[in-house]
Amino acid sequence: MEEHKNENPLKVNRRHFFSQLSVGIGSLALGSLLIPDLFKNGSKELAQQPLGIPHFAPKAKRVIYLFQAGAPSQLETFDYKPMLRKRMGEDLPESIRNGQRLTGMTANQEKFPLMPPAVNFKQHGQSGTWISDFFPYTAKIADEITVIRSMHTEAINHDPAITFFQTGSQISGRPSMGSWMSYGLGSENKNLPSFVVLTSRGDGNSQGLYSKLWSSGFLDSKHQGVLLRSGKDPVLYLNDPEGISRSEKRDLLNEVSALNKLHHVETGDDEIESRIAQYEMAYRMQMSVPDVMDISKEPKSIIDLYGEDCQVPGTYAANALQARRLAENGVRFIQLYHQGWDQHGNLPNEMAGQAKDVDQASAALVLDLKQRGMLEDTLVIWGGEFGRGNYCQGKFDPANYGRDHHPRAFSIWMAGGGIKQGLNYGQTDEFGYNVIENPVHINDFHATLMYALGLDHEQLTYKYQGRRFRLTDVAGNVIKDLIA
C-alpha cells in the first residue's frame, strides 16, 4: 500500500514564510479579515465564496448581541420577587438551596440572609412586564421585547460561563457563535467582515475579555470576529505607512498573492487561500471601515435617541449606534461587550451606574432598527453569563450589599428577528432561586437563535479530529414558544 505523503516539500515553516511576506502590509491586524474576492489589475481570479444557504426560511438575517459581561443581577433587572422584601434578613432555606455549589467567596459564610433589591419595580406596557427602575428606557420598549426569566447554566465562574455562552463549551478552543453564523450563512458585504466585535467598559467591577470569545476555533480563520477599536485606528495596522499610494499597495498585494498561490500549489495548505483573502479584505476595509465608523452625518434626532455619549468613541452608546450602522452595511453578527457587571459589593450604586451606561442606548437601538424597517429581520439580544444569588454576600447592609454568582436562574431579553413581542417566558420560584417553569438552557438558547436565522443546529456541523462538532454540542432544543 502506497504511503500517504503529507509533508511540506519546501521544508519551510508556514508561519515564518508568511511573516516574511507580510512586512509592510499590516499583517498584524489582518489575521481575521478573511473573505475571498476577485483580484484586480490582471491578477488571476479567485472565485468569491458564495453566500451561505439557510436550511429553511429564516426569520432573521443578522444578530446584534448586547452582552453584559460580569452578569447583571436578575433580581435588580427583570425578575421581581416581593417575597424577598417580606423575608429580608432570614436565612435562605436549605430546601431552596438544596446543596447548590457556591463560589469560594460565599461558601464559608455562616448564614445566607435573603436580600431584596434596593430598587423598585413596576409593570410596563400591555404585556405587564416587570422592569426595575434602573431601566426606564427599556421599560418604554416592554412590548417590543421578550424577557426570558428561566435561563440556566452549569458554569459558576466568569471565564467558563462566558466561554460557554459564546462558544457552546466551557472549555476554550471552540468556535464562537458569530463564527458559526459566518460559517453557516456567509457574508452579505464583501467589503466588511461578517463578524464584528465592539467592547466598552463601565465603572463597575470588571472581568477580563479575551479574544478566544470571538475566535473561529477549528473553523477556517476567515470566520473569526474582527475587533473594531475606538479612536482613529479602529483596526490596528490597517492603514498604509506614509508615502505608500493606493496603486503601490495594489501592486504589492498582487505580487504577494502570486507568491502565496505558488506556495499553495506546492503545499496544498488551504489556510494560504484564507491568507490571500485576508490581504484583499484589508485592502477593501481601508475604504469601508472609515466610512461606516463616521457618525458625523447622523441627524440630531438619532444623537438624541441614543444619548450624548454616542458621540464619545468607546462608550456603550457609541458602540450601539455603530452596531446599527454595521447591520445596515450587511455585517452578519455584531457582538458588543460591556464590562462592569460583577457586583459582589456596592451593588445598588454600581448597578445603577451600569444601567445608566446601557439602558438608553439599548432601547434606542431597538427603536432605531424598528423605524428603519430592520427590526423584523435583526435579532437583538441583551444579557450576561449567569445570574446573581438572592442572599447577601458579606456584611448584611440593605444600602450596600453584594450578590454572588448564581447559575441556576437568570434573565435576558430578546427583540426582533422573528421573536415574539411582549412575551414573559419562564418563571422562577418565589425566592428567585430555582427555575420552576419553562427552563431555557444555554444549548436551547443557541438552538433557538440558529432557528431564527434559518439554521438547523443539528445539521450545521464541522468535522474536526474525527468528530462532527456543532455549536449546541450534543444537546439543545428549539424553544418554539419564543418564535413569532
Residue 377, pLDDT > 50, answer yes
| Chain CA centroid to CA 385, Å | 11
pLDDT at 283: 65
Residue 10, pLDDT > 80, answer no
Who contacts 449 (Cβ-Cβ below 8 Å, separation ≥6)? 63, 177, 379, 381
pLDDT class of 34 with cuts at 50, 70, 90: very low
Please give the DSSP secondary-structure letter assigned to residue 221: G
Residue with cell 452608546: 317
Give the pairing of strands 145-152 and 405-406. unpaired
pLDDT at 244: 77
Q: Mean pLDDT throughout 249-254?
A: 77
Query: Cα dihedral sign for 26, 31, 37, 39?
Result: positive
| Average pLDDT for the chain | 88
Question: What cell numbers appear for 84 in the block?
Answer: 424577598
pLDDT at 246: 77
Q: How far apart are CA 15 and CA 41, in angstroms?
A: 28
Which of 239, 195, 238, 237 has the alpha carbon at shortest distance from 220? 195
Q: Mean pLDDT throughout 73-88?
A: 98
Q: How far apart are CA 62 and CA 51, in angstroms?
A: 13
pTM given for the model: 0.86
Q: Mean pLDDT throughout 107-126?
A: 96
Who contacts 191 (Cβ-Cβ below 8 Å, separation ≥6)? 284, 285, 287, 288
Q: Give all domains of the chain, ordered by start, each with its CATH number.
A: 62-235+300-482 (3.40.720.10)
Residue 54, pLDDT > 60, answer yes
CA dihedral 136, 137, 143, 146 (to 10 degrees): -90
- What would the pLDDT profile of 263-290 be if each residue is shown by its tens digit? 888 888 877 887 777 777 776 777 778 8
pLDDT at 237: 64
